[in-house]
Structure 1
Amino acid sequence: MSITRLPTGSLWLIVSGCLLLMLSFGLRSSFGLFVEPIQAFTGWGRDIIGLALAIQNLAWGVVAVLAGGLADRFGHAKVLIAGAALYALGIWMTADVAAIWVLNGGTGFLVGAGVAGTAFGIVLPAMAGAVAPSQRQWVLGVGTAAGSMGQCLLVPVIQRLIDALGWSGALHVMALMALGMAVLAMPLAARHGTPAEHGKPTSPQSAHDFRATLSLARGHASYWLLTLGFFVCGFHIGFITVHLPPFLADAGFDPAVAAWSISLIGLCNVAGALLSGVCSGRFSMRGVLIAIYGARAVATTLFLLLPLSLPSVLGFSAVMGLLWLATVPPTTGLVAAMFGTRYMATLYGVVFLGHQLGSFSGVWLGGWLYETTGSYDGVWWTAVALSLVAMALHWPISDQPVQGRDATVSA
C-alpha cells in the first residue's frame, strides 16, 4: 500500500488526522509528568491526583460514546472543534490549581471530554471511511502510529517546558497547543464518500439502520467479549502512563528518565501499531490480540522480577511500546468486520468505554494502593493477571459480519 495512490482529498484528510492525533495523544500522555509537581505544590496525595486523572479517563470513555453518535450524525469536524476547545479549557484550569474540585473538573472532566472529541474514536472512523475497504487496516495502523509519534515527540518537550517555565507555565503552553487541533479538524469537514457513509444528517432509513445495528450489537457475544478485553488494555495504559513517572522517581531516577521512558513507549509503538495494522489485515485479528496480551504478561513479569535499572526500564518501555496501542487496529478492525463502518464511531465508542473503565481502574487503584501500602507492587501483579484474563476473553471471539442489516450499511 502506497500513500501516493490515495486521492488528493483523502490524502489531506489522513495527514490532518494524523497530525491531530499526534497533538491529542502527545498532550494527554504528558500528564504523568505533573503528578509530582502538583503534589509538591498542593500537598495532595497521589490518591487525590490519581482520582482526577482517573476521572479524565472515565470522562474520555463516557463522552466518547456521545461524541461518536454526534460525529455519525452531524459530521466529525464539528465534534473535533468542540473537543479541542474543551481540551484547552481543561488544561488551562489545571495551571496553578488550588482546589480539588478544579482539579477534578479541569484535569478530570474537561480534558477527558476534550480527548474524547479529538482521539481515535472520532478520527480513525473518518480516516477509515475515506479509503477503500482494502486500504482500511493500513490506514488504521498509520493513524494509531501517529498518536504514538505524538507521545514520542511531545512528552520530552513538555518535560523541557516544565524545567524552563515551571509546571504551571508548561500547562499554559499545552492549552494553546490544544487549541491548534481545531485548525487541523477543517479537512475532515469535507469527508469523501457517499452521504450514507459520512457526516450528513441521517435519513429515516439510516436512523432505522442505526437502531437495528445497536440492537444487533446488544445481542452479539463477540462484541461484548471484545469490550471486556479492551478493559484490560485500558488498565495497563492508564496505570503506566500516570504512575510510571512517580514509580521511577521513588526508585531514585531523574525525572528526565520518566519522560524518555514514556517517549520511548510512543516511539516503539509507531512500529508496533504499523506492524499490528499489517498483521490484522493478514491474520486473525482475534489471534493478534491474544498474542499482544500474552506478550504484555511476559514483559511485565520480567520487569518486576529483574533488578530495576536503567537498561531494564528502557527495555520494558521499548517492549511495552511495541504492544502499547497495537490493540487498536485489530479492535477497530473487528468492530468494522462485525458491523461495517457506517456507525463505526458509535459502536467503537461503546467498546472504548470499556477501555476507559479499565483506565479509570488502573489510574485510581494505582494511587489508592500507593497511599495505602506505600508500594505499586499490587497493581503491577494485577496487570499481569488481567493480561491472562484478556487472552481467555478473546479466544472465542468471531469476526464474522452480523446478519440482518442492509448491505450498504455493512459495507
Structure 2
Amino acid sequence: MSVDIGYSRETFAFALALQNLAWGITQPFTGWIADRYGASKALLIGAVAYVFGLVFMANSTTGVGLTLSAGMLIGIGIGGSSFAVIFGALGRTFDPSKRSLVLGIAGTGASFGMFAILPYSQFLIKSLGWFEALIVLAITCALMFPLSWGLTERKDFSNEKRDTKAALSEAFQHRDFWLLGLGFSVCGFQVVFILTHFAAFIQDHGLSLTTAANALAIIGFSNMIGSYLAGYLGGKYPKQYLLSLIFLLRAIVITVFIITPLSQTSIYVFSGVIGLIWLGTVPLTNGVLASVFGVRYLSTLSGIVFVMHQIGSFMGGWLGGILFDRTGSYQTVWIMTILLSVIATICYLPIREMPISDLKAELKQKATDMGQPFSSKRTQ
C-alpha cells in the first residue's frame, strides 16, 4: 500500500499506532458492555467496526483515510473483540482453580489466529493483490457474527454488593492496579513496535518479504505454546513473579538479537524465542486482576488496564516510524525496549496476588495491633 499509494513509513506507522490507541480507549467501554449486557453484545459491536474498517481501508487513498479506517475503525473493532471482553466472559464462567489455564488456552487461540492469518494474508496479496486481500479479510472477519451469537456465560452475581463505580474506586486506590498497568504499557510498547516495524526492519537489511512474514508467523506459532504455558504456570506459581520473569527474558533476548549479526537464521531464532514470551502477559495480568478484584467487573477493569497497554502500543508503533524517518535506523527503539523491560521487571515484584477483601482484613488487623484507626483506602 505504501509503495502503490505513496504513504510514508511514518504515515502508516501513525495509523497503526492510532489503531492501538483506539483499541485501548474503546476497551473499557466494550468491557463495561460485556459486564453489563453480556460479551456477545460487545463482540457484535467489534465485528461490525472491524469489517467496515477493512473495507474502508481497502478504498482509502490518502493518509487521512488510512488513519480513519486502519486507525479508528479497526481499533474500535479490536476493542470489541479482544482480550478484555473474552477473558472477562471466561473468568466469570470458570472457577479459580481452572481460570489461569483457561485464560492461557484462550491466549493460545488468539496466537493461532496470528499464526494462521499471516500466511493466509500473504497468499491473498500475492495471488489477488492488496486491495482484494483486504476485502477477503473483511469477509473472513464477518465470521465473528455467528460466533458471537453462540456465546453464553455465567451472569449470577446476586452476592455482589459493589456497583461499577465502587469497583473502579476500589481498583484506582490500589497500588498494584497501577503497577500492573505500568508493566502492561511496556508490553504494549514492545509488542506493537515489533508487529509494526519488524517486517520493514528485516527487509531494510536485504532479506525478503517472505522471510519477514515467516518471522511473524513463527512469533504467532511460538506464542501458542507460550500463552498456554503462561496459563498453566500461572495456576501453580505467583503470577506477578512470572510476569517479572517474562520481561527479564525479553531484555536478554532483545539484547542478544541486536548485537548478533543479522541473518535469516538469527531472525527465525529470535522470532521463536520472543514468541514464547510474547502475549503470556495477557492471561497472567487478567489472572491477577481476577484474583485481587474478583470477576464481576473483570472486563471493565481489564479494559482500563489495557488502556495503559495501548498507550504504550501507540508510543511503540509511532516512535518506531518517527525515529526511523529521522535517523534511518531502528537501533534507538530497540535499546528503548531493553530499558523498558528492566523497568517492568522491577515494577511487578511488589505486587501481591491477594483478594482485596483479605488485604483489607490484614491491614485492619495490623492497624488494630498498632492501636491505629484503619482506613479502607490503605489497600496498598
Equivalent pair of 1:209/1:405 in contact (CA under 8 Å): no
| Distance in 2 (alpha carbons) for counterparts of 1:120 and 1:207 | 26
Equivalent pair of 2:50/2:73 in contact (CA under 8 Å): yes
The verdict on how the C-alpha distance between 1:207 and 1:76 changes in structure 2, with shifts beyond 3 A counting, is: farther
Question: Offset of 1:195 from its aligned partner?
Answer: 2.8
The verdict on how the C-alpha distance between 1:207 and 1:79 changes in structure 2, with shifts beyond 3 A counting, is: farther
| Distance in 1 (alpha carbons) for counterparts of 2:162 and 2:309 | 28
SS in structure 2 opposite 1:105?
helix
Question: Offset of 1:194 from its aligned partner?
Answer: 4.1
> Residue 201 of structure 2 aligns with which residue?
247
Pairwise CA RMSD: 1.6
Pairs within 5 Å for 1:93-132: 93-132=56-95
> Residue 54 of structure 2 aligns with which residue?
91
> Residue 337 of structure 2 aligns with which residue?
383
> Residue 195 of structure 1 aligns with which residue?
156
SS in structure 2 opposite 1:282?
coil
| Distance in 1 (alpha carbons) for counterparts of 2:160 and 2:73 | 32
1:398 to 344, 352, 373: 352
Matched-pair identity in %: 39
Question: Offset of 1:254 from its aligned partner?
Answer: 1.1
1:216 to 170, 184, 188: 170
Query: Is 1:143 matched up with 2:96?
Result: no
Question: Offset of 1:209 from its aligned partner?
Answer: 3.0
Count residues with an aligned counterpart.
360
2:321 to 367, 392, 399: 367
Question: Offset of 1:212 from its aligned partner?
Answer: 1.7
Listed one character per residue, the Cα deviations across residues 171-225 of structure 1 (whole Å, up to 9, x for unaligned) are 011111111111111121x32x34328xxxxxxx968432221111111001100
> Residue 218 of structure 2 aligns with which residue?
264
Question: Offset of 1:395 from its aligned partner?
Answer: 1.4
> Residue 368 of structure 2 aligns with which residue?
none
1:186 to 123, 132, 149: 149
SS in structure 2 opposite 1:398?
coil
1:339 to 279, 293, 296: 293
The verdict on how the C-alpha distance between 1:49 and 1:365 changes in structure 2, with shifts beyond 3 A counting, is: same
Equivalent pair of 1:70/1:79 in contact (CA under 8 Å): yes
| Distance in 2 (alpha carbons) for counterparts of 1:246 and 1:343 | 40
| TM-score, L = length of structure 1 | 0.85
| Distance in 2 (alpha carbons) for counterparts of 1:168 and 1:96 | 8
Poorly superposed stretches of 4+, deviation over 6 Å: none
Query: Is 1:133 matched up with 2:96?
Result: yes
Gaps of 5+ in 2: 361-380
| Distance in 2 (alpha carbons) for counterparts of 1:131 and 1:347 | 18
Query: Is 1:51 matched up with 2:14?
Result: yes
Question: Offset of 1:73 from its aligned partner?
Answer: 0.9
> Residue 76 of structure 1 aligns with which residue?
39
Listed one character per residue, the Cα deviations across residues 87-143 of structure 1 (whole Å, up to 9, x for unaligned) are 010111111421222111100000000001111111111122222221111100000
Question: Offset of 1:75 from its aligned partner?
Answer: 1.1
| Distance in 1 (alpha carbons) for counterparts of 2:160 and 2:20 | 31
Equivalent pair of 1:213/1:405 in contact (CA under 8 Å): no
The verdict on how the C-alpha distance between 1:322 and 1:116 changes in structure 2, with shifts beyond 3 A counting, is: same
Equivalent pair of 1:212/1:405 in contact (CA under 8 Å): no
> Residue 354 of structure 1 aligns with which residue?
308
Equivalent pair of 1:56/1:111 in contact (CA under 8 Å): yes
Question: Offset of 1:168 from its aligned partner?
Answer: 0.8
Give 2:141's aligned amino acid.
A
Query: Is 1:60 matched up with 2:23?
Result: yes
Report the structure number with the largest CA radius of gyration.
Answer: 2
